[in-house]
Chain A
Amino acid sequence: MKYLEPETLDEAIAALASSDDARCLAGGATLVAMLNAELVDPKVLVGLRKIPALRGISRTANGIRIGAMTTHNEIAADDRLVGATELLRSAAGQIAHDAIRHVGTIGGSIAHADPSADWPAAITAADASIEIASAGGARTVSVDDFFLGYLQTAVQPGEIVTAIDIPSGPQHARGHYLKFSRVDGDYATVSIAIVLAMDGKRCEYIRFAAGACGPKPIRVAAAEERLLGTELTAGDIAAAGDLLAAEADPVDDVRGSSEYRRMLIPRLLSRAIAVVGRAHHD
Chain B
Amino acid sequence: MTESTTIELRINGEVHSLEVETRRTLLEVLRQDLQLTGTKRGCNQGVCGACSILVDGNSIRSCLSLAVAMQGRDIVTIEGLGDGARLDPVQQAFLDAGAIQCGFCMPGMIISAKALLDKNPRPSKAEIRHALGNNICRCSGYVKVIDAVHRAATT
* A touches B in complex, CB < 8 A: yes
- Interface residue ranges, A against B (CB under 8 Å): 1-3, 5, 25, 28-29, 32-33, 35-37, 45, 47, 49, 96-100, 102-103, 184-185
Pairs A-B, 4 closest by C-beta atoms = A97-B134, A1-B22, A3-B22, A102-B58
Q: Assess whether A99 is in contact with B60, with CB atoms less than 8 Å apart.
A: yes
Question: Could you say which residues of chain A place their CB within 8 Å of the CB of B25?
Answer: 32, 36
Q: Assess whether B46 is in contact with A1, with CB atoms less than 8 Å apart.
A: no
Nearest-neighbour CB distance to chain B for A259, whole angstroms, equals 27
Question: Could you say which residues of chain B place their CB within 8 Å of the CB of A184?
Answer: 133
Which of these, A2, A32, A45, A98, contacts B64 with CB under 8 Å? Answer: A32
Which of these, B3, B52, B55, B131, contacts A2 with CB under 8 Å? Answer: B3
| Central interface residue in A3, A49, A103, by most chain B CB within 10 Å | A3
Question: Could you say which residues of chain B place their CB within 8 Å of the CB of A185?
Answer: 133-134
Q: Assess whether B69 is in contact with A28, with CB atoms less than 8 Å apart.
A: yes
A99-B5 CB under 8 A given contacts A3-B66, A32-B66, A184-B133:
no
Q: How far is the CA of A3 from the CA of B68 in the complex (A)?
A: 7
Question: Could you say which residues of chain A place their CB within 8 Å of the CB of B112?
Answer: 98-99
Size class of the contact patch on chain B: 20 to 34
Q: Assess whether B69 is in contact with A33, with CB atoms less than 8 Å apart.
A: no
Q: How far is the CA of A100 from the CA of B134 in the complex (A)?
A: 9
Nearest-neighbour CB distance to chain A for B50, whole angstroms, equals 11
Question: Could you say which residues of chain A place their CB within 8 Å of the CB of B3?
Answer: 1-3
Q: How far is the CA of A123 from the CA of B18 in the complex (A)?
A: 41
Q: Assess whether B65 is in contact with A32, with CB atoms less than 8 Å apart.
A: yes
Nearest-neighbour CB distance to chain A for B72, whole angstroms, equals 9
Nearest-neighbour CB distance to chain B for A50, whole angstroms, equals 9
- Interface residue ranges, B against A (CB under 8 Å): 1-3, 5, 21-23, 25, 44-46, 49, 52, 55, 58-61, 63-66, 68-69, 112, 130-131, 133-134
Nearest-neighbour CB distance to chain B for A16, whole angstroms, equals 16
User: 14 other contacts beyond A98-B134, A99-B59, with CB at 8 A cut-off?
Assistant: A3-B3, A32-B65, A32-B66, A33-B45, A36-B44, A36-B45, A37-B45, A97-B49, A98-B112, A100-B46, A100-B61, A184-B133, A185-B133, A185-B134
Nearest-neighbour CB distance to chain A for B56, whole angstroms, equals 9
Which of these, A2, A96, A100, contacts B22 with CB under 8 Å? Answer: A2
A99-B134 CB under 8 A given contacts A1-B2, A1-B22:
yes
Which of these, A2, A25, A96, contacts B66 with CB under 8 Å? Answer: A25
Nearest-neighbour CB distance to chain A for B35, whole angstroms, equals 21
Nearest-neighbour CB distance to chain B for A23, whole angstroms, equals 12
Q: How far is the CA of A99 from the CA of B135 in the complex (A)?
A: 9
Nearest-neighbour CB distance to chain B for A93, whole angstroms, equals 10
Q: How far is the CA of A2 from the CA of B20 in the complex (A)?
A: 11
- Can you pick out 17 interface pairs between chain A and chain B where the beta carbons lie within 8 Å of each other? A1-B1, A1-B21, A2-B3, A29-B46, A32-B65, A33-B44, A33-B64, A35-B66, A36-B44, A37-B44, A45-B66, A97-B133, A99-B49, A99-B52, A100-B61, A103-B60, A185-B134
Nearest-neighbour CB distance to chain B for A114, whole angstroms, equals 14
- Identify the closest chain A residue to B2 (Cβ): A1
Q: How far is the CA of A45 from the CA of B65 in the complex (A)?
A: 13
Q: How far is the CA of A35 from the CA of B67 in the complex (A)?
A: 13
Q: How far is the CA of A267 from the CA of B71 in the complex (A)?
A: 47
Question: Could you say which residues of chain B place their CB within 8 Å of the CB of A5?
Answer: 68-69
Question: Could you say which residues of chain A place their CB within 8 Å of the CB of B133?
Answer: 97-98, 184-185
Q: Assess whether A28 is in contact with B66, with CB atoms less than 8 Å apart.
A: yes
